[in-house]
């Protein structure tokens, strides 16, 4: 589950993203470590499965802990103005499509027969990672930041 972007995949920045990581990565990770230490672990319950034009995802209602972490990131990290963290969606990508469908409407109709889900996940850490090849085909984990114990 992604809580926030530090550098968004589909956004162009005035300088190379690697340069931004070199310049701000340590500062961002330090502040994220502080945020994680101030937030307790929590549980997310996924309620629906949805097919988008690029993937099938499981959706959960944004919980108070997720919203609190997102607000802290927006308020406390000095992110480039091109990075917009306004998402209120909580989701996990179940799978992505390898290519375009010949009949995407038929596929979506098959999924819409029963889109309910009832899966719970325990969240006990924030993972800071750099996406090297979109969509998460290759990532580099920069840190695992434990959330405070409940």
pLDDT tens per residue, range 59-68: 998 889 999 9
For the chain, counts of helices (H) and of strands (E): 3, 6
Class of domain 17-146: alpha beta
pTM value is: 0.83
Q: Cα–Cα distance between 112 and 114 in angstroms, integer?
A: 5
Q: What is the pLDDT of residues 31-68, one digit of tens each?
A: 999 999 999 999 999 998 887 777 788 999 888 999 99
Q: Which residues of 84-98 are buried (b: 16+ CB within 10 A; e: fewer)?
A: ebeeeebbeeeeeee
Q: Are the CB atoms for 66 and 46 separated by under 8 Å?
A: no
Stretch 107-114: mean pLDDT: 68
Sequence spans of domains, the chain: 17-146
Q: How far is CA 147 from CA 15, 74, 75, 113, in A?
A: 32, 18, 19, 38
């Amino acid at each position: 589950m992604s809580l926030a972007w530090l550098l968004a995949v589909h956004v162009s920045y005035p300088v190379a993203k690697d340069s931004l990581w070199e310049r701000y990565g340590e500062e961002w990770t330090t502040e994220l470590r502080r945020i994680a230490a101030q937030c307790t672990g929590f549980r997310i319950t996924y309620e629906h499965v949805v097919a988008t034009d690029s993937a099938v995802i499981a959706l959960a209602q944004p919980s108070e802990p997720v919203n609190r972490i997102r607000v802290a990131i927006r308020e406390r990290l000095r992110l480039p103005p091109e990075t917009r963290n306004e998402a209120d969606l909580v989701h996990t990508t179940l799978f992505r499509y390898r290519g375009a469908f010949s009949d995407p409407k038929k596929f979506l109709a098959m999924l819409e027969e029963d889109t309910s889900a009832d899966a719970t996940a325990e969240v006990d850490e924030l993972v800071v990672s750099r996406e090297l090849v979109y969509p998460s085909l290759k990532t580099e984990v920069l840190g695992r930041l434990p959330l405070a114990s409940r």
